[in-house]
Amino acid sequence: AVNEVTFYEFHNRSYWISSISLTQQRFFRSNLIYSFGRTEDIPHGMLINITAGPEFNEFGNRIYLGSSISRGGLIGNLGYLYSKVEYGGFLDEVDHFNQGVLNTSLDYFSNLFIISRFKVRHFLKFQYTRGVNRYLDEFITINDRYGISGFKDDRVTGVQKFITKYEAVSFSPYYFFGFRFAFFGFVDFGFVSMEEPLFKTKLHSGYGFGVRIKNERLVFETIQIRLGYYPTISDMQFPFQVDFSGEKKLNPDDFYVTKPDLVKFQ
């Protein structure tokens, strides 16, 4: 049943939030980062944001408070580093803090390395998320885009998680009827827990490799074929997974000011 601590998405509610932001941004140009050959504009700068406003809810009015800071740029000849910390939640009428969330992330990609005409780039990501006084039915997962690439096990949930993702991408110099190929390998690790110490819980992982195929002259999404191995997945599922999918073009996080929003618990 819908009550004050469950099924928040079905609450009769509205909120009016505003934000103040301070931003600085410029771009440098590169390629073979998130696409195959076109010049890419990679943001360099910082963004500080403070968000606040009332929520009018059938189970009691609250005040939302949130803030974030992000920064990204080149680190000498080592590559590019982006970091972000954000925290937000609600204060109710008796000053209890609930539905809070802390998100921290660190994203890195290296410069290009040339190996026998193949251009290789490394990607590394760390993410920590923790829920604070979340509602009884609110949990996070490490499934696929929320953690370990290709991992799917809905039994693995909690209120905090730590993710490490590594991927090496090798861009082929060869064309086949206008199509280019990028070969990749990945290693992902993740912890997720309820209240127990995070690093005392089971370590989940995913390992694999695949190929991405793209023709920059066509409007079709990048085609991705991926083989993954997930040793800790549910006994009801086969640990090897083959995925054939379309990959939308990825874009780096930027420092533009956007409309006010809540910090996501995901």
The neighbour count for residue 149, using CB atoms within 10 Å, is: 22
pLDDT, residue 248, reads: 64
Q: What is the mean pLDDT of residues 21-31?
A: 92
pLDDT score recorded for residue 250:
67
pTM: 0.91
* C-alpha torsion 127→128→131→137, nearest 10: 50
Structure letter (DSSP) for residue 148: B
**Closest of 43, 41, 51, 137 to residue 86, by C-alpha:** 51
According to DSSP, the residues that pair with 82 across neighbouring strands are 72, 107
Q: For the chain, give the percent of residues with pLDDT over 90.
A: 74
pLDDT per residue as tens digits for the range 150-173: 999 999 999 999 999 999 999 998
- pLDDT confidence of 216, banded at 50, 70, 90? confident
Contacts of 177 (CB under 8 A, 6+ apart): 215
Long-range CB contacts (within 8 A, 24+) of 134-141: 134/98, 134/99, 134/100, 134/101, 134/159, 134/265, 135/5, 135/6, 135/8, 135/98, 135/99, 136/5, 136/6, 137/6, 137/7, 138/8, 138/99, 138/265, 140/192, 140/265, 140/266, 141/192
Q: How far apart are alpha carbons 51 and 32 in whole angstroms?
A: 35
Q: Which residues have a Cβ under 8 Å from the Cβ of 91 and sit 6 or more positions away?
A: 62, 63, 65, 97
With bands split at pLDDT 50, 70 and 90, how would you rate the model's confidence at 212? very high
Supply 108's token pair: 């890195």
For residue range 113-146, list pLDDT tens digits in order.
Answer: 999 889 999 999 999 999 999 999 999 999 999 9
Question: Quick one: what percent of the chain has pLDDT higher than 70?
Answer: 98
Residue 242's pLDDT is what? 92
Phi, psi dihedrals of residue 214, rounded to the nearest 5°: -150, 140
For residue 29, pLDDT beyond 90: no
Q: How far apart are CA 188 and CA 230, in angstroms?
A: 10
Helix (H, G, I), strand (E, B) or coil at 136: coil
> Residue 105 has what pLDDT?
97
Interatomic CA distance for residues 142 and 163, integer angstroms:
8
Give me the pLDDT at residue 234, please. Answer: 79
- DSSP for 178-214, please give it: TEEEEEEEEEEEEEEESSS-GGGSPPEEEEEEEEEEE
**What does the alpha-carbon distance between residue 176 and residue 189 come to, in Å, rounded to a whole number?**
35
Token digits for 201? 């819980």
**Which pLDDT band, with edges at 50, 70 and 90, does 192 fall under?**
very high
Q: How many residues does the chain have?
A: 266
Mean pLDDT across 243-265: 86
